[in-house]
Structure 1
């Protein structure tokens, strides 16, 4: 779509011009759940407001509506029968949002194919999804080229508006299919309907004070479900979405500069990425002055990073912890950190437990934690998280057996049986009724006859003095016996001089701490200090590489070590 010139357009005023009141609250239509129709209502309400912008320019809500209408007409010609799956193979930019809207307006479902992902992963996704068409702005991998292809950079948009098709679409139809990896090792396509996303935005709007003048970022890959909230949260609330280039997202300092220059007010981020931003902010003093919300997802929060940020940046920024899963439409719970909690001394009672508190379910979402017998856990016990309600996805694409297994119809207290999602995540119930995240059920290992939940070990040890990050994995000792090893980093990011073994005194202190907070069989037999934890291509800690570490040599270099190239900001593919 090279003929369309991006233009900078002045946004509407951020105040109520009739009353002289403060910034206008976001207006999300209370009825209807088709995402493209909800967007069109916002476009009609605020046609001149900037909807989305990238490094090249911007589109108002009216311009975005017109471009997506025109592309939707093209898609309807190529795929006249609604319900097809359309792959989006596009560089980060405004056209990603245009194409998503167009796919939905033509009655189809979009499937992200981020060009930054490995070609093998893209080929698997395209084949497994049985795509009817791929929309791209660049050459595609050879095997993808065998599928029907629509190149945006070959199209010329006419000057006059083109009416969008209006196929009959039910809000229970999937809006998108996002592929996520799991314990099986085979990616699974999660089908999420329109109504789930609309329910997510409405539920979050009741928790957050969203405004029409809010500026959001599309910081993550659109193949990662965090982006669903970033895109539709911004557009359905009438805000402005800033698409962050990949190179910018990979640089902590460049990200801080963008947050400042763009006046970003709502920022969604993975805690390990936020840690890099904190380090850059403390080093250079660059802090965004407009930021109202930092919303965490995907990993456990290290509250020390939040406190360090507040020490150098504005203190009225609100920090929110979430627990979420792709199969439950991004977020399940909400947990706002209070000033009292953030100002608490690091060594105060429950000083770290509240950072693991997964919070309370969003309106319409239901969360239960049950033991192996299916009964609710009692205080002190750990169980599996089950999710029911508005966010539960339709299931896995073309995987009926796995869908039946992971999305069972279960008895529900006080009512008829309901469909649940068995998350495989664990939570521990504290005596005060708080649920704290306790890791993955498939991270459970067996050593010396004891079943050990790695998430619980990690949660207890991350609060140890002098520890920044910590991961516990099952390794093999020098004599071939299974053992538990904790790999950790410290606030001093310089790589250890001894190749990763850490000094003996520090290991002894950590062992003593572990014995105070863990049963004897859960105390790691070895503590290994690293400059950085290694990450896999998805941006998550590479547990496989760590578990293969033999003890005689250091594990593979982390992704941001000199041997691996420039330091990237890690953006995982799924919550």
Structure 2
């Protein structure tokens, strides 16, 4: 059958997130709710702090139906903020502090954010200076409260306007093929369907879930609400720790973390260098992209004491609230070329349909459509895009239901599991984030020295990366500052790893870009003469960097990221460097100056006197 339906256990389908959280506060007020940097907030403390913030928000007019921006780093303040916004009756709009200001402002304006919660107050003047147009309702931001003082009128969650399962809970922005990001509006009931009555893992008061995702990535929904709406604990793991395989395993053990989610790319990186990092976990969920078969097999082949009790392949677009299909992975056939994504989770319907939207035959390839209460409301302010992707559900058991068109090709295996086959369009995943190459190309086309551009995926170096092929505005020219230009408009993970300048983009006879011909265009050796290693240490580090980048050589002053590197490759470089030399060079030091010469200096500074490898004059 190409129509699959998840189980239907009881769940609080008519409740709001604050109402379910209030049940946990009453049941276990002194239990740990959030652990962050050695500080623990109990359920009662988190309840009081979020009540106070809800009161402040209402005082700023950000109550019922308000869209409230959140620009905070991961931590207890972020958790307080999103809960307080929901208690006030609003919906939170996460905007990562690391995003370029232009992109943050565009997201806040598109969402209609009336208030922005920041670590420091974001004034009305600052929003105006950033170019927010009049009439958007932009107002002064508020600071997340530092103390547990309750509003004198009592808990904000008791306000009748703070309830309602069909209210928007949050808006997450994803890459858009039209050149601007799309804001996905997710309701309270969709979040509750994800973490209450779930069958892909058991939630409960003894769960300590790692919080490693950025707030603008939908795994944040699983991490925070999976814990707080079931009496468990959110354990915030610092970004530097997440990006260091050795430190990650140590942190998971030290904080007694029981469950976590990792992107497929990060999971593959950790399994390459520290495969025992997940020992002791009850649940390891991996998703965001196709699961690497070799990395999965390496985990499954490990001794039981060196791997998690349960390993889950998790699939789901942001538009269907984090997860829609999950599969427990306990073994792989010798000739396995992929890992099935599993079956629909509870309260989720999956349809494998043909071009006529009719179910395909058994074992045939078709496009995956997803129905059920996990389906989002649509895209904020983009009715055409919403109508295109959110269709009436003719196979639903309730009136007025809609299904989401994923754009993913799948087939149903003989055992009822879904097998992912590819995409029907150009959309792809980079390190777990959805990327529409058209949005990257649209941003590049604004560069005054670029005439034509197309952005494609390249996997020749063993890691998926973006490559921009572009024709200069002036014949024979070579556009400069492309990386810096994009850094002011797009997040880091959307910036191409390589820029290939061609006289003109190759076209097919029908006038479309010939992508097969693009793949044959050599990337070149990069700009400028390379500085060779000047010491044994630099020689070893240069060789290691070249191996990871898939290059013949790397100069000691070459920018690691300009050569095609990214944060995950940098993490592997540092992990292997630290292991080889018995040092502890942090990712931050390398990101500040991503060159072999800087890395060699950091390593040398930590080596005992008399063993340092000095640079030859």
Distance 2:70 2:102 in 1: 16
Tell me by how many angstroms 1:139 deviates: 6.4
SS at match of 2:215: coil
Residue of structure 1 equivalent to 2:139:
148
Q: Residue in 1 aligned with 2:287? A: 297
The structural deviation recorded for 1:36 is: 0.9
Partner of 2:337: 352
Quick check: 1:170 aligned with 2:164? yes
CA distance in 1, matches of 2:217, 2:410: 24
Is 1:250 paired with 2:243? yes
Please, which moves more after superposition, 40-49 or 429-438?
A: 429-438
How far the C-alpha of 1:143 sits from its partner, in A, is: 5.2
Q: Hey, what does 1:107 align to over in structure 2? A: 89
Q: Which has the higher contact order (CA 8 A, sep 6+)?
A: 2
Question: Are 2:296 and 1:306 equivalent residues in the alignment?
Answer: yes
Cα shift at 1:174? 0.2
Q: Distance in 1 between matches of 2:352 and 2:234?
A: 36
Superposed, 1:410-425 pairs within 5 Å as: 410-412=393-395, 418-425=401-408
Partner residue in 2 for 1:73: 55
Give yes or no for the alignment of 1:213 onto 2:206: yes
Partner of 1:194: 188
Q: Distance in 1 between matches of 2:250 and 2:172?
A: 30
Pairing 1:16-35 to 2, within 5 Å after superposition: 30=12, 32-35=14-17
Aligned-pair CA distance for 1:37: 1.2
Residue 353 of structure 2 corresponds to residue 404 of structure 1: no
Q: How far apart, CA to CA, are the structure 1 residues paired with 2:149 and 2:397?
A: 57
The superposition leaves residues 336-356 of structure 1 with CA deviations (integer Å, 9 ceiling, x where unpaired) of: 112xx24x4xxx24x224x0x
**SS of residue matched to 2:370:** strand
Residue of structure 1 in register with 2:449 after alignment: none
The alignment status of 1:225 with 2:218, answered yes or no, reads yes
- Once residues 337 and 381 of structure 2 are traced to their aligned partners in structure 1, the CA distance between those partners, rounded to angstroms, is 42
**Structure 1 residues 135 and 551, CA, compared in 2 at 3 Å: closer, same or farther?**
same
The TM-score normalised by the length of structure 1 is: 0.71
**Worse-matched range after superposition: 433-442 or 296-305:** 433-442
Counterpart of 1:335 in structure 2 is 327
Secondary structure in 2 matching 1:563 = coil
CA contact (8 A) 2:122 2:142 kept: no
CA distance in 2, matches of 1:31, 1:485: 40
Quote the residue 2:46 is aligned against: 64
* Comparing 135-144 and 221-230, the one that deviates more: 135-144
TM value normalised by structure 2: 0.66
Aligned: 1:488 with 2:460 = yes
Measure the CA separation in 1 of the matches of 2:374 and 2:398: 18
Match 1:551 to one of 508, 522, 529: 522
Preserved CA contact (<8 Å) 1:219 1:244: yes
Tell me the alpha carbon deviations over residues 130-167 of structure 1, each in whole angstroms, 9 at most, x when there is no partner. Answer: 21101100365985366423342687664887623314
Q: Is the 8 A contact 2:48 2:148 kept in 1?
A: no
Equivalent pair of 1:73/1:163 in contact (CA under 8 Å): no
1:117 is aligned to 2:99:
yes
Change (3 A) 1:392 1:288: closer
CA distance in 1, matches of 2:566, 2:498: 21
Distance 1:203 1:426, change over 3 A: farther
Segments of 5+ residues of structure 2 without an aligned counterpart are 1-9, 130-137, 430-436, 438-453, 464-486, 501-514, 528-544, 550-557, 571-617
Matched residue SS, 1:423: strand
How far is 1:64 from its partner? 0.4
Distance 2:526 2:419 in 1: 31
Deviations 1:488-509 (A, max 9, x none): 3469xxxxxxxxxxxxxxxxxx
Structure 2 match to 1:274? 267
**Aligned positions of 1:418-567 closer than 5 A:** 418-430=401-413, 434-443=417-426, 487-489=459-461, 537=491, 539=493, 542=496, 550-551=521-522, 553=524, 563-564=559-560
Q: Is 1:385 the counterpart of 2:368 in the alignment?
A: yes
- Residues 279 and 194 from structure 1, CA distance in 2 versus in 1: closer, same or farther, beyond 3 angstroms? same
Please tell me whether residue 568 in structure 1 is matched to residue 550 in structure 2.
no
Contact kept, 8 Å, 1:249 with 1:569, in 2: the verdict is: no
2-structure distance, mates of 1:326, 1:197: 11
Shift of 1:420: 1.2
Query: Matched residue of 1:149: which SS?
Result: coil
| Whole-angstrom CA distance in 1 between matches of 2:168 and 2:189 | 9
Q: Which residue of 2 aligns with 1:325?
A: 317
State how far apart, in whole Å, the 1-side matches of 2:41 and 2:32 are: 6
The C-alpha deviation readout for 1:4-58, integer Å capped at 9, x for no partner, is xxxxxxxxxxxxxxxxxxxxxxxx9756520011111111111111100111511
Of 153-162 and 272-281, more deviation after overlay is shown by: 153-162
Contact 1:378 / 1:429 at 8 angstroms: preserved in 2? no
Whole-angstrom distance in 1 between the partners of 2:195 and 2:357? 31
Aligned to 1:48: 30
Cross-structure match for 2:133: none
Q: CA deviation at 1:407?
A: 0.9
- Cα pair 2:14 2:164 within 8 Å, conserved: no
